[in-house]
Amino acid sequence: MEYLIHLAILIAIYVILSLSLNLVVGYTGLLSVTHAAFYGIGVYATAILATKLGVSFFVSILIGVIVSSIIALAVGMILNRFKDDYYALGSFGFNVIIFSIFLNWQDLTRGPLGIPGIPRPNIFSINFSENLIFLMLVVLFAVLVYFISCFVVDSSFGRVLKGIREDEKALQVFGYNTHHYKLSIFVIGGAIAAVAGSLFAAYISFIDPSTFTLNESIFILAIIILGGLANLRGSILGAIFLVLIPEILRFVGMPNEIAAQMRQVIYGIILMLLMLYRPQGLIGEYKL
């Protein structure tokens, strides 16, 4: 039972991450491979604020979101100058830079040693150290993010985003400042990813930089491509699939070290097969 709750929590966290990335990649057509960086900013915000300053969890979420938004704003302004594959490459670069900040700014992040002892949230005398109750909190956030995403894509703002994806020039002709739209959605995506990070930090209680490498960004990208670009339910489906599939390996008795690598083999193969045979993913509405 504990194990199932653990998986459910992970799935909910990845649902938050993939929904937010889908807004950027699926709806707006910006191939961003830097999502793990914003995820990591949320994680470190909560970890540092909670362990060093004893800030409450919910305040730390807010601060994580603000920091992540500011950085996303700066990164987005630079990335907006690029298109398609150069965009992907530039976003790659930011993931590496932000990862090296996590790794090397040792006064703040303790570098490779990581930060242990991150407390679970505590509010209105509800004890979130019980995993089941924490799961409810994470699911609550995931549902909230789902509805925010629905609201974003169904609004007129969302329709402009899809327009940018299909034909940016045409929208510019109609007088839309596409630059601002692209920047806004990138910031929204980064902010939501930071929420997932805060939840992850509080859940796992020990964090180190190795979680926020490029591989994690590729993993989140694999989730949304598998589920389907520009389809919110697809992201949920993708997160469930890609979190659960590697768990099967554990049941066939594979040692942990190898299972972790097999996980990468599996999602790498899934990425290749999808590109070859079904670039729109399971239920996607947009092909890269």
Partner 1 sequence: MLPQLILNSIIAGSIYTLVALGFNLIYSTTKFFNLAHGVLAAVGAYIVFFLAQMLGVDIYLSVVAGIFVAGFIGYLLDKIVYLPLRKRKASNMVLLVASLGAFTVIQAIIAILFSSQFQTLSRNIGFEKTYEIFGGIITQTQLIIFLCGIVIMAGLLIMFKKTSFGKAIVATSDNEEVAKIVGINTNRIIGRVFFIGSAIAGLAGILVGFDTGIEPTMGMSLLLKGVIASIIGGIGSVYGGVLGAFFLGFVENFGIWQISGEWKDAIAFALLIIFLIFRPRGLINK
108 sits near partner 1 (criterion: CB under 8 A): no
- How many whole angstroms separate alpha carbon 123 and alpha carbon 136? 14
53: Cα separation from own chain's centroid: 26
275 sits near partner 1 (criterion: CB under 8 A): yes
User: Within 17-46, which residues bind partner 1 (CB under 8 A)?
Assistant: 31, 33
3-state secondary structure of 284: coil
Q: In terms of C-beta distances under 8 Å and separation of at least 24 residues, what long-range contacts does 6-11 make, across chains too?
A: 6/131, 7/243, 7/244, 7/247, 8/135, 8/139, 9/131, 9/134, 9/135, 9/138, 9/203, 10/243, 11/239, 11/240, 11/243, 11/244
**Rounded least distance, CB 66 to partner 1, Å:** 23
Instruction: Pick the binder of partner 1 from 5, 150, 214, 282 (CB under 8 A).
Output: 214
Instruction: Pick the binder of partner 1 from 58, 84, 174, 244 (CB under 8 A).
Output: 84
Instruction: Pick the binder of partner 1 from 5, 101, 139, 148 (CB under 8 A).
Output: 101
Instruction: Count other C-beta atoms under 10 Å from residue 265's C-beta.
Output: 12
Binding track, positions 173-212, relative to partner 1; x by CB under 8 A? ----------------------------------------
The stretch among 101-109, 132-140, 186-194, 233-241 that binds partner 1 (CB under 8 A) is: 101-109
Q: Is the dihedral of CA 218, 224, 230, 235 positive or negative?
A: negative
DSSP state for residue 253 in the 8-state scheme: T
3-state secondary structure of 208: coil
Instruction: Pick the binder of partner 1 from 21, 137, 225, 232 (CB under 8 A).
Output: 225
What does the binding site for partner 1 look like in residue numbers (CB under 8 A)? 31, 33, 78, 81-82, 84-86, 88-90, 92-94, 96-97, 100-101, 103-104, 214-215, 218, 221-222, 225, 257-258, 261-265, 267-272, 275-276, 279, 287-288
